[in-house]
């Protein structure tokens, strides 16, 4: 099995009702495999936000999500086009906000789209959305770069995203 569970899902100690799971991946292939498990669980309207430094593996995780959605196309970071769309079991909207400054730029760039309700939206650099970032989402926080293992935390910001926590096992 890809990745090793570093901690079980637990309620947020601050009492915010958040649930989380942690694991560690030791190779890009394990990060892709985690993404594939997430993609297999995805339903229409899901928002998955990928947090991490440059080189953390956000795009590797997005590639795996695409595989889990049955997408055979090559998935690359859409940094220069802001959003790429792929057809699969559900449409995948892969958004990369790295080059944007804030929520106003995100809105002006058209990264919020009514079509996303019918698919899965994966956002790299979600902090750029600021106050327009919905709280109902799955956050995937990746810590590590280069050849380091990746410590990955999944945080369900809404009970409907709790199903993803089992993917960390």
Mean pLDDT, residues 132-155: 92
Q: Is residue 155 part of a domain?
A: no
Summarize pLDDT for 77-118 with one digit per residue, the tens: 766 677 788 899 999 999 887 776 666 666 665 666 677 778
For residue 1, the model assigns a pLDDT of: 27
Q: Is residue 26 part of a domain?
A: yes
For residue 145, the model assigns a pLDDT of: 86
For residue 67, the model assigns a pLDDT of: 97
Q: Write out the residue range of the structural domain in which residue 133 sits.
A: 4-10+18-150
**In the structure, what pLDDT confidence band is assigned to residue 75 with cuts at 50, 70 and 90?**
confident
Cα distance between residue 79 and residue 74, in whole Å: 15
Summarize pLDDT for 45-59 with one digit per residue, the tens: 999 999 999 889 999
Closest CA to 21 of 12, 9, 11: 9
Q: Is residue 166 part of a domain?
A: no
Q: Is residue 168 part of a domain?
A: no
Domain containing 71 — which CATH number? Answer: 3.40.50.300
Q: Is residue 56 part of a domain?
A: yes
Cα distance between residue 139 and residue 17, in whole Å: 14
Three-state SS sequence of 97-126: CCCCCCHHHHHHCCCCCHHHHHCEEEEECH
Indicate the number of domains in the chain.
1
pTM: 0.83
Q: Is residue 164 part of a domain?
A: no
């Amino acid at each position: 099995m890809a990745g090793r569970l570093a901690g079980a899902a637990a309620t947020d100690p601050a009492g915010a009702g958040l649930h989380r799971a942690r694991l560690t991946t030791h190779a890009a292939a394990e990060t892709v495999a985690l993404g594939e498990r997430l993609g297999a669980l995805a339903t229409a309207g899901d928002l998955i936000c990928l947090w991490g430094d440059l080189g953390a593996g956000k795009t590797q995780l997005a590639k795996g999500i695409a595989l889990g959605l049955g997408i055979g196309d090559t998935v690359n970071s859409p940094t220069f086009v802001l959003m790429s769309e792929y057809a699969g079991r559900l449409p995948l909207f892969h958004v990369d906000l790295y080059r944007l400054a804030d929520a106003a730029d995100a809105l002006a760039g058209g990264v919020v789209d009514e079509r996303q309700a019918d698919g899965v939206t994966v956002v790299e650099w979600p902090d750029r959305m600021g106050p327009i970032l919905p709280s109902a989402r799955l956050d995937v926080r990746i810590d590590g770069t280069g050849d380091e293992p990746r410590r990955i935390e999944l945080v369900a910001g809404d009970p409907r995203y709790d199903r993803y926590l089992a993917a960390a096992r």
